[in-house]
Amino acid sequence: MLFRSIVLNESCIVKIITKQLNNNAMKKKLLAAAVAIILLLSLKAQAPEGFVTGTLKMADGSVHSGYIKDNLKKDASVIFTTNNGISKKKYNGSTLNAVTINGVEYRCIMGDFFKVICAGKICFLQKKSNASGKLSYNGSEAIFASGTEGKMGDYFTYSNNQLFHITSKTLDVFINGQLSTCAAAVEKAKAINGDIGLLSESVIIYNNANK
């Protein structure tokens, strides 16, 4: 009787060990499968060469997320794909309201792309393309973009659907016009010593006062 009990116990132990080994083998298989899935998802999520994550805001207000290649300086356009570069489409500024490229927002105005430095009642922008005379197509119809004044790197404001080019000659007009209702913004603007890029601080003050 004692011998039978020992044999049964040994049999149970063998079954337990075998089951544990099977469980470990299953765990290894599951782990390997999980790693394979993670690697596959990582490959799918990787941007194609030359592209970064971004979004397009179309003229109809719809938003599309995917990957974007920045051709702003080259020909005032972006190339967009959602499937790792297998299918790509080119968009000009005239067909878009805005784009976000690697977390940076750009507004599209009259075919040009403008980097948004600060936004609010007054948007302070920097020109990043030159669309003047660029050819694009609406179906089979050829369209030449009018573009905007100024050169790439110039600063602008955009308010009430009006684009205003800020230069050393128009700086006082901007300060005494658009900023005139906010004394703190005017004071800050008059202290920039000709560095137009620093006007962003004045615009932020103005926007905070006019929310």
- Domain parsing of the chain, residue ranges: 52-119+129-148
- Which residues on adjacent β-strands are paired with residue 125? 116, 156
The yes-or-no verdict on residue 4 having pLDDT over 60 is no
Confidence of residue 86 (pLDDT cuts 50, 70, 90): confident
Q: Between residues 39 and 23, which one has the greater pLDDT?
A: 23
Token pair, residue 18, equals 């075998």
Tell me what percent of the chain is helix, strand and coil, each rounded to the nearest 5. 35, 30, 30
Query: Alpha-carbon distance 140 to 146, whole Å?
Result: 19
> What integer is the mean pLDDT of 89-105?
94
Cβ neighbors of 100 (< 8 A, separation 6 or more) are 54, 55, 106
User: How confident is the model over 7-19, as a mean pLDDT?
Assistant: 50
pTM of the model: 0.75
Min mean pLDDT across 15-19, 24-28, 110-114, 141-145 is at 15-19
